[in-house]
Amino acid sequence: MHTDTDRCVRAVQAKDARFDGWFFTAVLTTGIYCRPSCPVVPPKVGNMRFYPSAAAAQQAGFRACKRCRPDASPGSPQWNERADLVARAMRLIADGVVDREGVPGLAGRLGYSARQIERQLLAELGAGPLAIARAQRAQTARLLIETGQLPMAEIAFAAGFSSIRTFNDTVREVFALSPSELRARAARGTSGDGRTAGTSATGTISLRLPYRAPLCPDNLFGHLVATAVPGVEEWRDGAYRRTLRLPYGQGVAVLRPQPDHIGCRLALTDLRDLTIAISRCRRLLDLDADPVAVDELLRADPLLAPLVGKNPGRRVPRTVDAAEFAVRAVLGQQVSTAAARTHAGRLVLAHGEPVDDPAGGLTHLFPGPEQLAALGPGQLALPRSRRTTLTRLVEALAAGDIVLGAGSDWDEARARLAALPGIGPWTVEVVAMRALGDPDAFLPTDLGLRRVAQELGLPSTPAALTARAAAWRPWRAYAVQHLWATDDHPINHLPAV
């Protein structure tokens, strides 16, 4: 979008928050860059320059606006909509792969050379993977500086910097303030954007997760809570809580829907996991979606228009752990929601890793594929056919024969899942929708969806329904949420406080 100057100028002059994260506006006379919705008086058109990423603006020598905090914008929806190399790379960078494994690790996961990835990211985003990861580290550093009293040396390494000098130089360059000045400014209450809050203990961070309005929380939190695995997830005091398995340690996320943001509280055993935890919570709640674009297309269908008009901004509830969700999808085959929760709860209680949660009832991490693959068939209390399916799935996940997650190739993952015994079209597509994040995943064989389709006058056979749903592409996963929501099921209702 940043190449369409007229459109960008109109968005800036209208202070249109929908375009936050789509592009960034740099101002030649001040040397700063802003989000489109920055509350200051818009600059003259001749002084505006537009960049596709915060990293590109920083590389061009611009520093972040202290008023609108462009580094804290919602992510571009493109990275969750697309399945090409650039989108997969951006999802992996957001998940901290460059910080942990470097650019060679990113290239290895994507199956391309480091030079190819660098070239494509530069062409589309104006910055390579190292610069994009650096911008992400700067944002993490700002959060840690402003939300607590950790020593700066600890913050530097927790944010992923290799040295304190690099940390200091980057913070000064990006924010035009030293780390100490950033902290003092936050303490005076002049941080400007209200996106962060204080901490109550070391390792516990409170912040706001922004999103593009509108957002309908009903099915989003309703689905997560109705299918919650005991010990791993719960709804408590108006918030969804769950345990997190992270690269450096464990975590507990508390996510609370608010009118203009999602309140997020993260308790981490290792602060190096902060960026990854935030990224996974955003992905779980589909917060980088562009609901206006989705709803506009779906409203064009006269049968969907009333549903979209009633609850605009529906999101697709996703997951913080793709392998976990795939296991849960198999456990939920041909059984009720309650039965699926029971099966998963037993698995967690018997084989999950214990966690300490003084504030609630979370007790375990969901067992990983490696743990489950080491179990004997007799240790899985499931019918024989489903036990075989689960065993083959976790073996493939543990061996890396099936890769699910932020950087997965959606088509390849579908094909490899479908090749396993006992995994049919429904399981493949529900994993694609919620674990892979494909916004066009579609479940024409789902019995609930077929029942609703028949009630609304849509075709109810899988082939005919698929043909009718072609007009909803590339947002069929969102259409499914609207159709499911016509049923009076707990997944469609925000839990009572």
**φ and ψ of 256, to 5 deg:** -125, 120
- The residue extents of the domains of the chain are 5-72
Long-range (24+ apart) CB contacts under 8 A made by 145-150 are: 145/171, 145/179, 145/182, 145/183, 145/186, 146/182, 146/183, 146/186, 146/191, 146/196, 147/186, 147/196, 147/197, 147/198, 147/199, 147/205, 147/206, 147/207, 148/198, 148/199, 148/202, 148/205, 150/202, 150/271
Helix (H) or strand (E) holding 266: strand 262-268
Strand partners, 244: 251
Give the residue with greater pLDDT, 73 vs 457: 457
Cβ neighbours of residue 432 closer than 8 Å, sequence gap 6 or more: 410, 413, 414, 438, 441
Backbone angles phi, psi at 26, to 5 degrees: -100, 145
Of these residues, 95, 288, 438, 446, which one is catalytic? Answer: 446
Cβ-in-10-Å burial (0-12, 13-18, 19+) of 421 comes to: exposed
Residue 395: band (very low, low, confident or very high) from pLDDT cuts 50, 70, 90: very high
**pLDDT given at position 44:** 95
Q: Which ranges constitute the DSSP H helices of 300-446? A: 305-310, 322-331, 337-351, 369-373, 384-399, 410-418, 425-431
- Asked if 117 contacts 144 with a C-beta cutoff of 8 angstroms, the reply is no
Q: Residue 314 has what DSSP assignment?
A: B
- Position 359 scores a pLDDT of 86
Q: What is the pLDDT of residue 382?
A: 79
pLDDT band of 78, cuts 50, 70, 90: confident
* pLDDT level of residue 355 (50, 70, 90 thresholds): very high
- Mean pLDDT confidence for 286-299: 95
**CATH superfamily, with its number, for domain 5-72:** DNA Methylphosphotriester Repair Domain (3.40.10.10)
Query: C-alpha angle with apex 212: 141 to 10, nearest 5 degrees?
Result: 100
Exactly one of 8, 20, 34, 286 is catalytic; name it.
34
Average pLDDT rounded to a whole number, residues 122-147: 92
Closest by CA to 225, choosing from 344, 359, 341, 368, is 341
357/253 Cα distance (integer angstroms): 11
**Residue 3 has what pLDDT?**
84
Over residues 366-378, mean pLDDT: 90
Sign of CA dihedral 136, 137, 138, 140: positive
Kindly report the average pLDDT of the chain as a whole number: 92
Chain CA centroid to CA 200, Å: 25
The Cβ of residue 268 has, within 10 Å, a number of other Cβ atoms equal to 23
pLDDT tens per residue across span 17-50: 889 999 999 999 999 999 999 999 999 999 999 9
Distance of CA 326 to the CA centre of its chain: 17
Query: Over the stretch 402-446, which tens digit does the pLDDT of each residue have?
Result: 999 889 999 999 999 999 999 999 999 999 999 999 999 999 999
Q: 202 falls in which pLDDT band (50, 70, 90)?
A: low
pLDDT of residue 146: 86
- Per residue, the 3-state secondary structure of 85-141, as one string, reads HHHHHHHHHHCCHHHHHHHHHHHHHHCCCHHHHHHHHHHHHCCCHHHHHHHHHHHHH
Q: Are 291 and 304 in contact (CB under 8 A)?
A: no
Task: Dump the DSSP string for 173-229.
Answer: HHHSS-HHHHHHHHHTT--SS--B---SSTTEEEEEE--PSP-BHHHHHHHHHHTPP
Residues 95 and 276 sit within 8 Å (Cβ to Cβ):
yes
Residues in the chain: 497
446 assigned to active site:
yes
